[in-house]
Amino acid sequence: ETGVTQTPRHLVMGMTNKKSLKCEQHLGHNAMYWYKQSAKKPLELMFVYSLEERVENNSVPSRFSPECPNSSHLFLHLHTLQPEDSALYLCASSQEGPDLAGGQFRNIQYFGAGTRLSVL
Amino acid sequence: DAKTTQPNSMESNEEEPVHLPCNHSTISGTDYIHWYRQLPSQGPEYVIHGLTSNVNNRMASLAIAEDRKSSTLILHRATLRDAAVYYCILRDDNAGNMLTFGGGTRLMVKP
């Protein structure tokens, strides 16, 4: 258990569906991330939120829409996806800036187990 | 981010030490060397990081070359649970909070 929880763990959707992936972190961190991991490709950074503001959008198609309502929650809204969007979607969090109490390192990313998405 | 080069795969015997190399010849003075690993069906997890000096923690040791152009992650006694993809990543703490993952090294541990 890393303190970062992703739901659902598995998702199958058609190309016309709308679904959302959820990520919740219980670590008191101030930054959250979405990554995509396709088969036989390195992890690709999609979005970065720092202090609930989106600070990075790595040329991701508009059919992926992130939302960060507070520092503990991050969503990825999906609509009109393509089969090539099938992948493992990973969420991570980190503490950027001043150190946290309790010996946690700053700038270390803690990942969830991911959502395995299949688009039919 | 400066790039790193790692072997695609390595094999080890259980309970023997493993040395995972990483080359980063274009490292800058402010780049930290981070190692993460990804076990099957899980997200990546942090292993260790360092700047210039060798580092030890409960998971592994990190040996950094004097010129910082290469580093080695050392697992002192490999177990079957250490079978994973190991990623060596350079991160400049002054240049934002992103990690750029490469292909990593797939470590296989034989019983």
- For B10-52, the pLDDT digits (tens) are 999 999 999 999 999 999 988 999 999 999 989 999 999 999 9
**How far from A59 is each of A45, A46, A66, CA to CA, in Å?**
10, 8, 13
Whether A107 sits inside 8 A of B100 (CB atoms) is no
CA A82 remoteness from chain centre? 19
- For A56-69, the pLDDT digits (tens) are 777 899 999 999 99
Omega before A8 within 30 of 0, i.e. cis: yes
A42, A50, A105 member nearest B102 (Cβ): A42
How confident is the model at residue A59, as a pLDDT?
A: 83
> Where residue A103 falls among pLDDT bands split at 50, 70, 90?
low
B 9-48 near A (Cβ less than 8 A): 32, 34, 36, 41-46
Q: Is B96 on the interface with A (CB under 8 A)?
A: yes
A interface with B, Cβ–Cβ below 8 Å? 2, 4, 31, 35, 42-45, 48, 50, 55-56, 90-92, 94, 96, 105, 107-114
Rounded-to-integer distance, Cα A99 and Cα B110, Å: 40
Share of chain B above pLDDT 70, in %: 94
